[in-house]
Structure formats: structure tokens, C-alpha cells
Amino acid sequence: MMRSSEKHQGVKAMHINRDRIKERIQEKHREQRQRVRDSRLGGLRRAESGETSDHAWCAGTREAAVTGHPEVESSTTRTPDTTLCYNSDEILTTSAVQDWSDIGHEFGVNIHDADVMEYLLGLEEEIRQEQFFQFYDQTNSNEWEEYFCYLTR
């Protein structure tokens, strides 16, 4: 059983290192996207060389852990080790970070503590939201800002 002072130290350490932890989570996201991409491309390459069936894209997808994208998740794309969690809107999502132990070790926090994991998952959700808004801005050429200005006139 963990004492409350140890819990307090873990959460305090995370608040102090918040930006660095966020950078590490983003790094893990980039690594995972690269693994998914490599796996899918590998499946397509095998299909071109005649090693697999016509479903090479699906084969590549099955080999990769697709997380954080409920619209693409199905029984063929999810792997058994995918971590499921609920976001702030009580929607079931998946954690893109599969192994938090290196973050826990690097920043000296106990990842088995519920408060610590809640904080880490909150940071991960914050990153998702930031990426979503960046994507939206890029695809809509900041039209939403113009619309907001129009509404505030």
C-alpha cells in the first residue's frame, strides 16, 4: 500500500515535468504511427511480390496496433494488448502509449498509482485534442476563426 506522501510526490513530480512528459508522450505517438505505417507498407510490398493474398492492407493493419482511432478499430485491427480507457466525456478510447514504464522510470513516478495514470492519460487526451485542432486548422485554413469573428460583430 502506498502512503499518501509518496502519492503526493509522484503527482508533484509530474506537474513539475509536465512539458517534458508531454514531449515523451508525443514521441511515443510518432514512434507508433511510424510502426503502423511501416507495417502497412510492408503488407502492401508483400502483396506486390505475391507473398500474401489480396488483403495486404488488412494484413498490414492487423500487424500494427491501431490506437486512438475508434473509427478504424474493428476486430481485425485491434490487438489484445491495446489499453482501453475512458476519456473525460466517458467515451471508450484506447491509449496510444502501450508501455508507460519508461515514462514512470524516467520521471520517477509509480505508474501503478491511479492518480498518476489518470494524470498521464489526461495529458495524452490533451495531446489528442491539440492535434485535432491543429488538423482542423490546417484543413479549413482557419475558417473557424473568420466565422467566430463574424459571430462577434
- 3-state DSSP: the chain helix, strand, coil percent, rounded to 5? 60, 5, 35
pLDDT tens-digit series, residues 89-120: 555 455 566 778 888 888 888 888 888 899 99
Q: Count the Cβ atoms, other than its own, within 10 Å of residue 103.
A: 21
pLDDT tens-digit series, residues 68-87: 444 433 333 333 344 445 55
In this model, does residue 48 exceed pLDDT 50?
yes
d(CA 62, CA 77): 5
Mean pLDDT for the stretch of residues 55-64: 48
User: In the chain, where are the structural domains located?
Assistant: 8-151
Per-residue pLDDT band for 19 (boundaries 50, 70, 90) equals: very high
Q: Are 25 and 97 in contact (CB under 8 A)?
A: yes
The end-to-end CA distance of the chain, in Å, is 58
Greater pLDDT, 49 or 6: 49
